[in-house]
Amino acid sequence: MMRTIQFLLRNQLQRKKYKKGNDGFTLIELLVAMIIAAIIITPLLGFMLNVMRTDQQEQAKVSSEQELQAAIDFISQDLQQAVYVYDNDGLSRNNNAGTPKNSGIKDQLPNCPASTKCTPVLVFWKRLFLDKEMSLAKKGGGSIQVKEAIKTAQGQEGDTFVYSLVGYYLVEDNNTNNNNPWSDVARIHRFEIRDGIKTADRKEFLAIPSNGFAPPPLGKTGNLKTKMNQWKKGNGNYDVGDVVIDYVEKIDSKAPQAMECDTTRSGIDISEQRVPSDKNKYKSFVACVNSKKNSVRVYIRGNALARINLRKTNDYTDGLSSYFPVVSTQVKGRSFLFSK
C-alpha cells in the first residue's frame, strides 16, 4: 500500500514539473530578450540609414556631374557655330550712338524678371541651320515650311542658314519660394532670336524673324568690335528663354575663384576679357572671351548640396567641396564675319 502511494505521489510531482516547464517566459526573461534585441537591431538600423544617406549624397554628386557635363557639351556645340562672341566691353555698356567706340548692347538684351537677379555671361552671333522640313511662322499668321520659303525665294527647295543671336544668363531668385519649380541656388537660362527668310528682292519676309531680332550691324563704321557693339534690338518683345541647367552655384558664393582669364597679352594675341568682370561676386558661371580670335573658355560650378538640403543652407565650405563639381571647356568658333 505504501509503495502504491509513493508511486502515485512521485508520478504527480513529475507531471507538475513537466507542466511548469511549458508555462512560457517570465517578465524578466521578456525584458532581457527585448534589451538584447534592441542592442542588436539599433546599430543595424543606424548602419542601414547611414548607407541610404550616403547613397543619396553620392547620387546627388553623380547627377550634378552628369548634368554639368551635358550642359557644357551643349554650350560647346553651340559656340562652335559662333561667328562673333561679345566680350565684357559689349555686355557691360549701353548703346551709345554718339560715341560708337564706347557703345555696347547691355540695354538691348532681354531684361531680368523683377523677382530675380541675373547677368549675361555668354552672348554671341551664330549661323543657325534651318532644316528644309522645319515650319516657321509667316506674316499674317499660320506657318510655312523652310523648303517652301526657299523655293519661293531661290527657285528650288533646300535647307538654309540664317543669323541668330544667342545668350546665356546666370539667374538666381531673390526670394525663396516653395512654389518655385527651380532650386534656391542658381540656374543658367538660354535665349535665342533668329532672322527670317526673305523674298528674292529682300523686301518681304516669307518666314518672319523672332520678336526683337535685328541683323548684325555690319554696315556701321569702325572695326568689327565697334560695329557689333552698336547692335540695337528690333521690334517686338522677346520671347521667354529656356533653362539649360539648374543647381548651379549661387551668385556671391563663398567658393574659390573661378579660372583666371589671360588679360596680359597684347598685339596679335589680344588678351581675354572676363565675363562677368566682378571676380568676387561671380564664381559659378564665367567666360574668358577673346572676341578678336572668336575664342572662349567657359567655366561652370554646380551645387549638389542643394539637391539634398532643399530650402536649407547650401553654402560652400572646404570640407564640402566635393559637392560643388566644376566643368570647363575651351571653344573656338568655326565661322567668322567678314567686315571691311
pLDDT at site 2: 55
Residue 209: cis peptide before it, omega within 30 degrees of 0: no
Give the integer Cα–Cα distance in Å for 84 and 335.
8
pLDDT higher than threshold 80 for residue 178:
no
pLDDT at site 102: 94
pLDDT at site 310: 54
State the pairing for strand pair 160-173/205-207: unpaired
Give the integer Cα–Cα distance in Å for 190 and 165.
11
Which residues, at least 6 apart from 216, have a Cβ–Cβ distance to it below 8 Å?
84, 125, 163, 227, 228, 231, 337
pLDDT at site 24: 65
Q: Are 158 and 224 in contact (CB under 8 A)?
A: no
Least confident range of 24-38, 164-178, 234-248, 278-292:
24-38
Residues 47-53 have a mean pLDDT of 76
pLDDT higher than threshold 60 for residue 314:
yes
pLDDT higher than threshold 80 for residue 125:
yes
pLDDT higher than threshold 90 for residue 93:
yes
pLDDT higher than threshold 70 for residue 12:
no
pLDDT-derived band at 190 (thresholds 50, 70, 90) equals very high
Q: What is the domain partition of the chain in residue ranges?
A: 43-332
Give the DSSP H or E segment for 186. Answer: strand 186-194
Give the integer Cα–Cα distance in Å for 214 and 96.
17
Question: Which amino acid type is present at position 264?
Answer: T
Residues 10-35 have a mean pLDDT of 66
Q: What is the number of other CB atoms lying within 10 angstroms of the CB of residue 110?
A: 19
Give the integer Cα–Cα distance in Å for 239 and 212.
9
pLDDT higher than threshold 70 for residue 20:
no
Rg (CA), the chain: 34
Q: Are 291 and 333 in contact (CB under 8 A)?
A: no
pLDDT higher than threshold 70 for residue 137:
yes
Strand partners, 120: 169
- 41: Cα within 13 Å, side-chain hemisphere: 6
Least confident range of 25-29, 70-74, 209-213, 235-239:
25-29
pLDDT higher than threshold 60 for residue 58:
yes
Q: What is the pLDDT of residues 105-124, one digit of tens each?
A: 999 998 887 778 889 999 99
pLDDT at site 312: 66
